[in-house]
Structure 1
Amino acid sequence: MRIKWFSLVRITGLVLVLTYHFFQNQFPGGFIGVDIFFTFSGFLITALMVDEFGRSRDFKLLAFYRRRFYRIVPPLVLSVLLVVPLTFLVGRDFVTGLGRQIAAALGFVTNYFEIATGGSYENKFIPHLFVHTWSLAVEMHFYIIWGILAFVIAKAVQHWAPPTRHQTSTASLPMFRLALFILAIGLAVYSLMSMFLRAAGLSDFSPVYFSSVTHGFPFFVGSALGTVTGIRYVAPSFQRSWRAWTWQSAAGVMALSALTLIVLGDLLQFDQLITYRGGLLLATLLACVMIFSARVLHEKTPNVPEPKPITFLADVSYSVYLFHWPLYVIFSHLMTNWLAALVTTSLSIVLSALSYYSLEPLIAGKPAHFFKWPLQWRLVKWPFLILTAGLALLTIQVTRTAPQLSRLETNLWLSGITQDVDKLNATQAIATAKPAPAVKAATATGTKPAKGVSIIGDSVTLGTRDYLGAHVADSSIDAEGDRTMDLAYKVMMEQQKNHLLREYVVICIGTNALNDYQEQLMKVVNDLAPGHKLVLMTPYNAQATASWNSSKLGELERSLPKKYNFITIADWGKAAPKHPDAFKGTDGVHFGGIHAGDVAYAQVINDALKVAQTRPAKS
């Protein structure tokens, strides 16, 4: 029995996820689309469990797992086999650690693999191609646990409420419903409290977002709703409640809850504590309202068919979710973001339709068709097996030869080691040698800094540190991955306090710009001691639009020399696009190890230093 209008719930979740992945800065909270999927899955699975028990007074665990296997695994395997050949369109960095990613995806442990490796959708470097399968892992863990619990409850009900000659098969159904409801509420509260408590004090919320324990509550909230409404075997309380509704009120509530979810997707942030202490729960509850009103609307519109385009998009939504992320990662590095989003969506829908209507039914031994032509296994068996074997061999070869560290990661790792050694040597030299005259002056007067250049940067600077040190005269470099302006400020103030900050201070920060970028930047400007000259390196991100914080920071920096005569701009944001070879096969931000990027980056700094020589120091 298909419930009309449930398709709109699935589509809402899919649209939220797609917009989040495609336009993360403009729609930062779209990740709640996953919580809609979780809630709906919990509802639907539990409602079907209730139907099965009402029909047969039993719940067959192995049959349940078999149905889940055929629905989840074939599209997952297909997405892996079809995506891997497309990685030849981009650099080898995109297949770094691919074997472990695929093993985690097929083993349904991607969520814990990402926690262990520090993965995230908001990864600053090249993201994992199959990071999105973390949600499948959480879903599969729910199916395993909830299936076992439902099986135990069914057996307990059979034992404690055996049928009599005069009972119908549904006589013990209320007991089964109640037991599932109480258990679902208990597990939802436990999971929700785990997220609430474990989120405290975190700067990176990926561990609580990915964990099956902390992010399992939407499934159980949906399950509780599923015991109340059901599909065929509807609870009496639900029957009484929906009679008071009109189809207009059901449609209105459904539309309002969907609109509220969209607004929520625009407001929530992945890195805000409120998201994990109420935001995801609110999204889950709104999803329940959508599900409930859709269920009522189904009852109120018996003669209104669901539009076929809506049904189609709902059918392929799971496979679209599987295909879209790796395709987007690849295409977004080959074309503009809007075009990449369009190509990704179109190709994902085509491949998903092929999977849902043709391949999945064939694998499960069910009737299948390709457009309007019926497919028979005997006719497509050998072409299908040969193509699958070829793709499997190609996937194995790619994973066998895939690097374990990307070129960028290797470069940053080596640069970090070199920087640590330099710091140790500098500390030892300071501890054992007499201060240089310039340093003495700085210590005595507090106004005359040492000659030279102090460069404070993020991972972009770290990636080119060796070249920069050799080609920017008399420079010291302190760079670190994921460094934001507030962290750069702390480094600057520490060097200033210890009289190590040199005359020219170059701040190469901004790609990781936070919402309070203006306040952070002005602290650097205002608290820099007199006698220094400040050079601000504008950030560059090939994917950034004018609405991104990094772009806004760059514009703010360009406006400062008119107000502060000790500030000079090193405009990397405008110079970098003139050197496309430096970013070929990269994430569009880093160029570590690419000589053209090293040369261009150092040149921009040196040009700015020449201009700074003609400007006064801070007074």
Structure 2
Amino acid sequence: MNPASHSRLQALDGLRGVSILLVLISHAWLGHIVPGGLGVTIFFFISGYIITRLMIAEWDKTAQVSISKFYLRRFFRLMPALIVFVLISLGVMQLAGVQWQWIELMSVFFYFANYFGIFVGFSGDLLPPPLSITWSLAVEEHFYMLFPFVFSVCIAFPRRFLTGLLTFIVAILLWRLYLVYGVGLDQLVHYRIYKATDTRADSIMYGTCFALIQARYPGLAAHFAQRKALIAGVLLMLASLLIRDENFRESWRYSVQGIALALMFTHLIGESNMVSRVLASPAMVYVGRISYSLYLYHWLVFGIISFWLPDLSLPVKFCLMMVASLVLADGSQRLIEAPFLRLGQRYLHAGIKH
């Protein structure tokens, strides 16, 4: 791997670290100051970008994409840590006297936790339901249930592929606009738009489109590297955060943030500016590499503190949540994620040999 590619990968890990820190700090009783929802949107964008780049690289090398290997890699990457997290969460719920239902576990492992949380709700009242944090995993998996098949059919026709993706992005925006201004937020259940796949999948598609543009349309991608693109992206992102109208926030905000991220992305993961160097710093790269487990466990820690230690001062609760979340995530990454990733790589490599 050349130094430029390595630097970009590190900056990507660092940007993923920023996304999880936004979520973590927001949930640590500072949601009125820190935009945790933006962290999720960034994470969706990065997911779409990275996976599309990897699939394009595989296609360019072999003229095909192994869909079975795609799903096996995701299984080894996500499922072992998720299983352990769920088991620990069930133990905590048992200690708190929460009577959980089997349908809740099914919603997690069969990836309908977002809709289950919206329309039914997870068990728990005084203890914030730890399994509810898996809603974003459901959004991603719904997208990736279809995307590899669509990619395999469409990548040979990049213009049509890009047009199709942009059409879906516009369609989802129009669907959100209908729900907000046609149906009305007062008629929708809480988090109907924020957590549902049909209203949030476009956040992943923006990253997918950007990866496709970089790989197949370098002339167009060069425009995103210009300073005016960065300035426009920063202004759009600020506008998305400063406009507090709830109708805007539930309809236009995700689209504005997706466009802003696309305009800023080249500068964020570049190799020759101060921001990318900060993102590629060891601390940010480390946080990015444990971001999956950190995302899972921080909400469990929040629930534990809220249930058993509610009277602690805010600074103490904040520090405790930061430290405990990082320790649990680090342990999960070292003891669960990394070993199973190596196991998956050996399995897939053995499959290639045979």
TM-score (norm 1): 0.48
Aligned to 2:160: 179
User: Pairwise mapping of residues 273-422 of structure 1 onto structure 2 (< 5 A)?
Assistant: 273-295=247-269, 297-298=270-271, 306-335=280-309, 336=312, 337-366=314-343
Shift of residue 97, structure 1, vs aligned partner: 2.5
Change (3 A) 1:188 1:119: farther
Change (3 A) 1:221 1:23: same
Q: Is the 8 A contact 2:14 2:287 kept in 1?
A: no
In 1, Cα distance between equivalents of 2:26 and 2:172: 25
Aligned to 2:137: 136
Change (3 A) 1:25 1:366: closer
Unaligned residue ranges in structure 1 (runs of 5+):
158-174, 369-619
Change (3 A) 1:118 1:102: closer
Question: What letter is aligned with 1:141?
Answer: H
Matched, 1:110 2:100: no
Matched, 1:214 2:199: yes
Q: Is the 8 A contact 2:72 2:344 kept in 1?
A: no
Change (3 A) 1:365 1:13: closer
In 1, Cα distance between equivalents of 2:103 and 2:260: 36
Change (3 A) 1:237 1:351: same
Change (3 A) 1:263 1:328: farther
In 1, Cα distance between equivalents of 2:47 and 2:99: 32
Aligned to 2:102: 99
Which shifted more, 191-200 or 321-330?
191-200
In 1, Cα distance between equivalents of 2:201 and 2:19: 17
In 2, Cα distance between equivalents of 1:273 and 1:289: 24
Q: Please give the root-mean-square deviation of Cα atoms over the aligned residues, in Å.
A: 3.4
Q: Is the 8 A contact 2:23 2:40 kept in 1?
A: yes
Aligned to 1:36: 42
Shift of residue 312, structure 1, vs aligned partner: 0.5
Aligned to 1:236: 218
Give the number of the structure whose alpha-carbon radius of gyration is greater.
Answer: 1
Q: Is the 8 A contact 1:27 1:265 kept in 2?
A: no
In 2, Cα distance between equivalents of 1:118 and 1:126: 13
2:51 to 45, 49, 68: 45
Q: CA deviation digits over 1:237-278, x for unaligned, max 9? A: 267547x75xxx69x949x83x97578557647xx2211221
Q: Is the 8 A contact 1:83 1:327 kept in 2?
A: no
In 2, Cα distance between equivalents of 1:82 and 1:211: 26
Q: Is the 8 A contact 1:320 1:348 kept in 2?
A: yes
Question: What letter is aligned with 1:196?
Answer: L
Q: CA deviation digits over 1:522-541, x for unaligned, max 9? A: xxxxxxxxxxxxxxxxxxxx
Q: Is the 8 A contact 2:58 2:64 kept in 1?
A: yes
Question: What letter is aligned with 2:118?
Answer: I
Aligned to 1:202: 185
In 2, Cα distance between equivalents of 1:47 and 1:114: 32
In 2, Cα distance between equivalents of 1:331 and 1:150: 44
Q: Is the 8 A contact 1:16 1:262 kept in 2?
A: no
In 1, Cα distance between equivalents of 2:30 and 2:102: 27
SS in 1 for 2:290: helix
In 1, Cα distance between equivalents of 2:129 and 2:150: 34
Task: After the TM superposition, list the runs of 4 or more consecutive aligned residues in structure 1 that deviate by more than 4 angstroms.
Answer: 123-126, 238-242, 259-269
SS in 2 for 1:97: coil
Q: Is the 8 A contact 1:16 1:30 kept in 2?
A: yes
Structure number with the higher helix fraction is: 2
Shift of residue 324, structure 1, vs aligned partner: 0.8
Change (3 A) 1:84 1:97: closer
Change (3 A) 1:24 1:267: farther
Shift of residue 195, structure 1, vs aligned partner: 1.4
Q: Is the 8 A contact 1:36 1:287 kept in 2?
A: yes
Q: Is the 8 A contact 1:253 1:293 kept in 2?
A: yes
Aligned to 1:579: none
Question: What letter is aligned with 1:131?
Answer: S
Q: CA deviation digits over 1:347-384, x for unaligned, max 9? A: 2222222222332232234599xxxxxxxxxxxxxxxx
Q: Is the 8 A contact 2:17 2:289 kept in 1?
A: no
Question: What letter is aligned with 1:334?
Answer: W
In 2, Cα distance between equivalents of 1:287 and 1:96: 41
Change (3 A) 1:325 1:147: same
In 1, Cα distance between equivalents of 2:35 and 2:283: 26
Q: Is the 8 A contact 2:230 2:264 kept in 1?
A: yes
In 2, Cα distance between equivalents of 1:277 and 1:324: 28
2:91 to 85, 90, 97: 85
Shift of residue 227, structure 1, vs aligned partner: 0.3
Q: CA deviation digits over 1:480-538, x for unaligned, max 9? A: xxxxxxxxxxxxxxxxxxxxxxxxxxxxxxxxxxxxxxxxxxxxxxxxxxxxxxxxxxx
Change (3 A) 1:7 1:25: closer
In 1, Cα distance between equivalents of 2:57 and 2:241: 34
In 1, Cα distance between equivalents of 2:256 and 2:194: 15
Aligned to 1:75: 81
In 1, Cα distance between equivalents of 2:110 and 2:221: 41
User: Pairwise mapping of residues 413-432 of structure 1 onto structure 2 (< 5 A)?
Assistant: none
Change (3 A) 1:239 1:263: closer
In 2, Cα distance between equivalents of 1:361 and 1:146: 26
Q: CA deviation digits over 1:429-484, x for unaligned, max 9? A: xxxxxxxxxxxxxxxxxxxxxxxxxxxxxxxxxxxxxxxxxxxxxxxxxxxxxxxx
TM-score (norm 2): 0.81
Shift of residue 325, structure 1, vs aligned partner: 0.7
